Amino acid sequence: MMFVAAENTPTSFKDFTLIMPAISVGNVGQLAVDLIVSTLNMCRVGYIHTDCLIPMAGNNPYATFTPENANDLSTNAEVYSSPELRLAVLQIRTPIIQTKSKKFCKLMVSWIKASGFSRTVVLSSSHAYQRDDQQLLGTPLRYLQTPSMQKVTGDRLKEMEWREMETVSTFPGVTDSERRLYIPGGGATKRLFTDSCAEDIPLHVVSVFQLG
């Protein structure tokens, strides 16, 4: 995987916040990223070249029909930036090739680390119909944070009454002594999170239980 910068574009992401989607049920993360890019009028600063995603090329989804961008092409993984906000956004438009999910997550974590992002936020979703009893009540939003992110945020999320993603029984109906993190429909969310934990990367996951 390689980040390819756009022409005449500064590409330092040192101390930027990165927002990226997981390819998950309902395309929730991707739709949220589209809103962020269009609302903040962010500039495209490059793209990710990788063989881990299904190839794609299409019209510029944020075209305003001005001569500057009406004929631009978009690819399957593009990076947008707002230097004044110290914010970068990665939009992923196609699924990860099933046999290359592990490789993609490893490469993504390596790029995040090498780029010097101060923190990363992964926008994700999971199947609402696969919630267990403890997840049925209250807000459908959940979060996860790596230990290095916990050092930065402290207890602020709990003070805001956000709910951390619960672990569920590995053998439901048999025993609750063994539990696991389970994000059905979340795509590569869990692997990105666990790989980021292993690499000591400050990372948040924000997920919603999605119907349909």
**Domains in the chain and their CATH numbers?**
2-210 (3.40.50.10900)
Residue 13 to residues 3, 161, 198, Cα–Cα distance (Å) = 12, 31, 22
Percent helix, strand, coil in the chain, to 5, is: 30, 35, 40
Give the number of other CB atoms < 10 A from CB of residue 164. Answer: 11
Residues near 55 by beta carbon (within 8 Å), at least 6 away in sequence: 76, 94
**105: nearest Cα among 22, 31, 167:** 22
Q: How far apart are CA 88 and CA 173, in angstroms?
A: 44
pLDDT of residue 104: 96
32 touches 135 (CB < 8 A) = no
Quote the tokens at residue 115: 């780029």
- H/E stretch holding 100: none
Give me the pLDDT at residue 66, please. 58
* Nearest Cα to Cα of residue 14 among 62, 75, 83: 83
Whole-number Cα distances in Å, 80 to 13, 39, 89, 133, 167: 11, 12, 5, 39, 34
Taking the chain (212 residues) in runs of 10, the rounded mean pLDDT of each run is 82 93 95 95 93 92 70 90 96 96 96 95 95 85 94 84 86 74 94 96 96 75
The model carries a pTM of: 0.92
pLDDT, residue 138, reads 84
